[in-house]
Amino acid sequence: MDSLDLSQKRVVVTGGAGFLGRQVVNQLIQAGAAPERITIPRSRDCDLRRWDHCQQATANQDIIIHLAAHVGGIGLNREKPAELFYDNLMMGAQLIHAAYEAGVEKFVCVGTICAYPKFTPVPFKEDDLWAGYPEETNAPYGIAKKALLVQLQSYRQQYGFDGVYLLPVNLYGPEDNFDPRSSHVIPALIRKVHEAQIEGKQQLPVWGDGSPTREFLYSEDAARGIVLATRRFSGPEPVNLGTGYEISIRDLVELICDLMEFDGDIVWQTDKPNGQPRRCLDTRRAKALFDFEAQVSFRQGLQNTIDWYRQHAAVLQPV
């Protein structure tokens, strides 16, 4: 499709004040969107689990980019599976329907890598999304988000509603969530290493055995991909956003220790869960459909994230 001119569009970014959302707003403005036409609903004023709030959020808008999610790491997934399923399903399903009823021109839904089956051929291809059940600890969240893909496809088929669905791999970057109770692996490890250094500890305990692999996408790259899809893509098929670079948790921990100059011992807590065995995306569809490729190298992205955390650690420490 031709590139969408954003200059006169009224755009809502749910989750726009969050880690990824701030980057998406920046990328929208760089792509020509007018700052005064971008709306960022805040959860304290706009609870997307409520139908009337979804109607208010979508009224008189042209584009909805849905990033808002109730999300966390393995710990939160195990502790609150019901909340993760209900909150994410209700937010997305109602927002999509409200956007359709309001005559919104374009809906961009950001899904999750957790939607893929536990055992998926690597690299993950979008066509394998329905080839099995997700990894158990991720399943309530992943299935709730995957249901939104079905909703968008069916609304396109029945109503001609232009909704697209993107599957970003694990994100990381400055301003990430570093709260140890709910953070994902990279910010959790950076914080853990930093605190070990501050406290003079020579051992670093890490969940699992280090064997799982992951792929990580720098938040600025992810945001650029989302905005490219908003402007250039219109179709029913889900699209992966990633780098195609796979790294084991063991190598990740060693790299973070190297970049942070931590020379203590890594202690693998093999009684703790590993999560999904492997994660790496096939990224060819995004390149073919809207010319997206990641630009920030993993080492540079990690260094940027570490630098940001160290600058802000003092205010982030209390939990």
Known binding residue 16? Answer is yes
Determine the Cα–Cα distance for residues 209 and 219; give it in Å rounded to an integer. Answer: 27
Task: Confirm if 221 and 295 have CB atoms less than 8 A apart.
Answer: yes
Known binding residue 250? Answer is no
Which of 105, 21, 122, 100 is closest to 67 using CA atoms?
Answer: 21
Angle at alpha carbon of residue 27, lines to 40 and 223, rounded to 5°: 85
Query: Please, which residues have CB within 8 angstroms of residue 16's CB and are 6 or more apart in sequence?
Result: 22, 24, 25, 38, 39, 40, 41, 65, 67
Determine the Cα–Cα distance for residues 55 and 48; give it in Å rounded to an integer. Answer: 9
Known binding residue 51? Answer is no
Indicate which residue of 86, 100, 116, 141 is catalytic.
141
Determine the Cα–Cα distance for residues 86 and 255; give it in Å rounded to an integer. Answer: 37
Known binding residue 207? Answer is yes
Determine the Cα–Cα distance for residues 137 and 316; give it in Å rounded to an integer. Answer: 27
User: Tokens for 157?
Assistant: 């088929």
Give strand ranges (E) for 49-99. Answer: 63-66
Amino acid occupying residue 120: T
Give yes or no: 100 in active site: no
**How many residues would you count in the chain?**
319
Known binding residue 170? Answer is yes
Report the run of H or E that residue 87 belongs to, with start and end. Answer: helix 81-101
Known binding residue 6? Answer is no
Which of 105, 212, 123, 90 is closest to 162 using CA atoms?
Answer: 105
Report the run of H or E that residue 167 belongs to, with start and end. Answer: strand 163-168
Known binding residue 201? Answer is no
Instruction: List, as residue ranges, the binding site.
Output: 15-21, 145, 168-171, 184, 192, 207, 214
- Residues marked active site are found at 141
Instruction: List, as residue ranges, the binding site for NADP(+).
Output: 15-21, 145, 168-171, 184
Instruction: List, as residue ranges, the binding site for substrate.
Output: 192, 207, 214
